[in-house]
A and B are shown apart, each in its own frame.
Chain A
Amino acid sequence: MKVLRITPQRCTGCMRCEIACSYEQSGVFQPAKSVIRISPFEAHTSYAPYTCTQCDEAWCMVACPVNAITISPVGAKIILNDLCVGCKLCTIACPYGTMFYDPDTAKATKCNLCGGAPACATACPTQAIEYVEAESADWLGSFAAERAETQLAQQA
């Protein structure tokens, strides 16, 4: 299936993905509503976007007590808003922290791959986010480990 491939080395921290995501998902330009999140590394000199990997176990989906999460035709785990009761069990089941809760709607919210046309990938000016045929992977681990060395060294 097509996934969001993240190349953190290309991310400039411009936050366009967060803005595009929040608008696509909730109709407002508000990073707090985005389900892709930029993290700073190396004291804000490098950045990386972080979002749902559409993982195989789908911890969120299997945990839901009322089957409010299903798999969309493009393979995204998606929330059926009419069924979600807002119990947040999915938010503690997802071990990646990529299942959110929106206090305004009282429902869970997550990356749904925008039905197959992810707004974040379109918005990203540097192709740090691409929507391509690939296996989900830990796109950020080694980048972050490397960038973090400086930070940890400074702390020591």
Chain B
Amino acid sequence: MARTRHVIVGGGTAGMNAISTIRRYDRGASEIILVADERPYSRMVLPYYLKGSISESHVFTAPPTRLRTLDVEPFIGRRAVGVDTQINTLMLDDGTELPYDNLLIATGSSAVRAPVAGADGSGVHSFWTLEQAQGVIRGITPGCSVVLVGAGFIAFTILNSILALNAQLTVVEIAPQILPRMIDATGADVVTRWLQERGVTVRTGVQLNAIEDADGRKRLRFRQGEDVMADQVIMATGIRTNLDWLEGSDITINRGIVVDAHMRSNVPNVYAAGDVAEGRDAVTGEAALHAIEPTAMEHGRIAGANMAGQSQTYRGSLLMNIVEVLGLEIASFGAWDDADAEVMSALRPERPAYRKLLWHDDRITGAMILGPARDIWATNDVGILKGLVQSGVSLRDWKSYLRGNLFDVKRAFIAAGATGRLLPQTVLGRPSVAAESVAVQ
């Protein structure tokens, strides 16, 4: 019998996790082909490369030796341009046709720039790929002024790096607050003040109209208020899924590829994982497009296990983010902006510190935590908030205790028995193994 042939499109987090999971189960029994238009690397460590705290080589997750260890046949630098699910064949940009038994679509997302005049000009960057990161690194020189257009999570992941390069930073955001999809308005106020006190200019509620050239510099014009001058502009104005190449195929796409609890699309031997997959949100139970690393990792592992012939059901992904700006930690978990939830919050402006818990009955379904790094890491609270949301443990009497003691979640977590609920939980129904221990036999 011929070896089963798995074709993986995309060598990011989801793709690489799928590959190592397939190999964990089959130890080399199948054929694995990786099609990726870039060398496999981790996008989310690019901010550290920008900052200069890691070298470029550190970002790569699967150098050729690793791909050989996993017995993967690479088509690196090639793009998938179409798929015919009737004849189980993937088409590449150079005309190659790759027949498959199982196909995994893990093509991630791309940055999109707000449609304003001049957004494609020189000195205007996106920050999503390694190549774009290299462009920003070339562009920023000490003392130069940088404008970040968009104050979302991705913009915030590079904020420290830009400042570490001794650039002057202005952040502009169309929404009335910074981090609109990660924290609420109260939290955003705390963060904004923290940044302003440390020399970062923050302007919210302003719409960029145009980016013009002005004597070798850039002039940003807004619908409201004064122009801003800059040497470099970074547009962090959103992302979209890389699914254009599937146009005309019979794979069902809503906001992302619609998948079942096995990460299977409507076509049974076509799987999807990561930013492109619209999988189950563990808290809401609804289909969601998360575009975060942990979701891509879990999607990839579940898809890989099922492609390898297992039957692994996914309980769903937990939305979570953490980012630190100039020593202030900001994290949120689960359904932190659920309008139907019962809310408890506490603000200590002098630290500053802010907490928010969202409840359905006596269970926590969303949480927010914010405070100086030294306060935050003196506690176990960051992970404990994740554990409270993930375990869905019933907090009974602790709920009323927490109302007045929002900064004391640990004892509630322990006494409610969250540890006992969490210990048996694994994503693949068995203990995880270290990545480097997975190799073909």
- Which of A's residues lie within 8 Å of B, judged by CB? 32, 37, 39, 41, 48, 50, 53, 55-58, 61-63, 65-67, 69-71, 83, 85-89, 91-103, 106, 136-138, 140-142, 144-145, 147-148, 151-152, 155-156
Contacts and interface: CB of A to CB of B under 8 A. Distances in A.
A85 B53 contact: yes
B426 A56 contact: yes
A106 B425 CA distance: 30
B333 interface: yes
B81 interface: no
A83 B435 CA distance: 13
Contacts, number: 170
10 contacts: A39-B410, A55-B422, A55-B423, A56-B426, A87-B45, A89-B294, A91-B322, A97-B379, A98-B383, A148-B415
Contacts of B374: 32, 103
Kindly state the interface size class of chain B when it binds its partner.
35 or more
A101 B434 contact: no
Given A101-B377, A155-B401, A95 B383 contact: yes
Contacts of B301: 62
B397 interface: yes
Given A98-B383, A103-B327, A106-B53, A50 B322 contact: no
Nearest to A109: B377
A56 B425 CA distance: 8
A144 B411 contact: yes
B185 interface: no
B411 A89 contact: no
Interface in B264-316: 293-294, 297-298, 301
Contacts of B145: none
B417 interface: yes
Interface stretch (B198-206, B339-347, B385-393): B385-393
Nearest to B409: A97
A95 B431 CA distance: 16
Contact of B294 (A56, A93, A98, A138): A93
B406 interface: no
A85 B48 contact: yes
Contact of A89 (B322, B384, B404, B436): B322
Interface centre among B373, B414, B416, B431 (most CB of A within 10 A): B414
Contact of A56 (B381, B398, B423): B423
Nearest to B44: A65
Contact of B422 (A92, A96, A99, A155): A96
B324 interface: yes
A92 B381 CA distance: 10
A137 B421 CA distance: 10
B387 A63 contact: no
Nearest to A103: B373
A48 B400 CA distance: 23
Given A62-B427, A92-B382, A103-B373, A141 B432 contact: no
Interface centre among B301, B384, B404 (most CB of A within 10 A): B384
B380 interface: yes
Contacts of B373: 101, 103
A2 to B, nearest CB: 16
B378 to A, nearest CB: 5
Which 5 pairs, one residue from A and one from B, show the smallest C-beta to C-beta distance? A97-B380, A95-B387, A97-B383, A138-B420, A97-B384
B22 to A, nearest CB: 15
Contacts of B331: 92
Nearest to B391: A95
B102 to A, nearest CB: 22
A81 to B, nearest CB: 12
Contact of B377 (A56, A57, A102): A102
Nearest to B61: A66
Given A89-B294, A144-B411, A155-B401, A136 B423 contact: yes
A92 B48 contact: no
